[in-house]
């Protein structure tokens, strides 16, 4: 299986376009809200799967359990966070073109930066922000808030985790959506994906395939 080349989201010297791209990336982080943090440890590279929250001013926050392999080593060092969007296998039959090969379309964002450990007050603020952001997605459900649980139990749970903040030094988005195919072929593939239930990728291919 030989993959098509991946296409990075376009960057422009135009400030308006840069602002639009940054807003799209911030929206991706908020909508997905989950990522993988990679870093080196004395025992080799490790990864943690974590909820993530963007502060909107160039920082990404997350928390780890005290027993996580990264917890003792990540502060003060660079780390990489990967946020995966929709992905899907693409059959060459769907393009209605000759001499095509199977491939995989995907949307992903890599964030690289230096990590610092947060104070307890900041960690609690992160937990509140994560809760508020994700409970809002469940509307019209009434939002859950930590006031609904026993304060001592909440404090005990907070003691079991540590908050971290990454100062984002590099944003590396990749959108591989069939941009190297004619619009008709891409629409055919998107329709086939939609029929198999992969609606998120089908939507991305139809909406953003020409970027």
| Nearest C-alpha neighbor of 205 from the set 189, 197, 109, 196 | 189
User: Domains, the chain, ranges and CATH?
Assistant: 15-208 (2.30.110.10)
The radius of gyration computed from the CA coordinates of the chain, to the nearest angstrom, equals: 20
Report how far residue 205's alpha carbon sits from residue 162's, in angstroms, rounded to the nearest whole number. 39
Report how far residue 120's alpha carbon sits from residue 62's, in angstroms, rounded to the nearest whole number. 13
Sign of CA dihedral 154, 157, 158, 163: negative
CB 97 within 8 A of CB 186: no
Per-residue model confidence (pLDDT) at position 6:
52
Q: pLDDT 10s digit of each residue in the chain, 211 long?
A: 334 445 555 444 344 457 778 888 999 999 999 999 999 999 999 999 999 999 999 999 999 999 999 999 999 999 999 999 999 999 999 998 898 899 999 999 999 999 999 999 999 999 999 999 999 999 999 999 999 999 999 999 999 999 999 999 999 999 999 988 999 999 999 999 999 999 999 999 988 755 5
Tokens linked to 203: 């939507």
Query: Which residue shows structure tokens 């929250």?
Result: 53
Report how far residue 156's alpha carbon sits from residue 173's, in angstroms, rounded to the nearest whole number. 38
Per-residue model confidence (pLDDT) at position 211:
52
C-alpha 48, offset from chain centre = 13
């Amino acid at each position: 299986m030989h993959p098509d080349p991946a296409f990075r989201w376009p960057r422009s010297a135009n400030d308006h376009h840069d602002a639009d791209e940054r807003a799209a990336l911030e929206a991706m982080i908020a909508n997905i809200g989950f990522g993988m943090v990679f870093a080196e440890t004395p025992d080799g590279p490790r990864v943690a799967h974590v909820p993530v929250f963007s502060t909107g001013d160039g920082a990404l926050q997350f928390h780890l359990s005290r027993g996580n392999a990264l917890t003792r080593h990540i502060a003060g060092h660079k780390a990489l966070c990967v946020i995966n969007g929709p992905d899907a296998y693409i059959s060459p039959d769907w393009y209605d073109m000759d001499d095509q090969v199977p491939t995989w379309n995907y949307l992903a964002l890599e964030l690289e930066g230096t990590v610092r450990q947060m104070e307890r007050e900041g960690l609690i603020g992160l937990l509140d922000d994560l809760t508020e952001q994700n409970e809002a997605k469940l509307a019209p459900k009434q939002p859950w808030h930590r006031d609904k649980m026993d304060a001592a139990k909440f404090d005990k749970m907070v003691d079991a985790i540590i908050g971290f903040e990454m100062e984002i030094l590099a944003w590396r988005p990749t959108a591989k959506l069939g941009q190297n195919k004619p619009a008709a072929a891409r629409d055919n593939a998107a329709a086939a994906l939609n029929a198999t239930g992969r609606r998120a990728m089908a939507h991305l291919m139809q909406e953003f395939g020409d970027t």
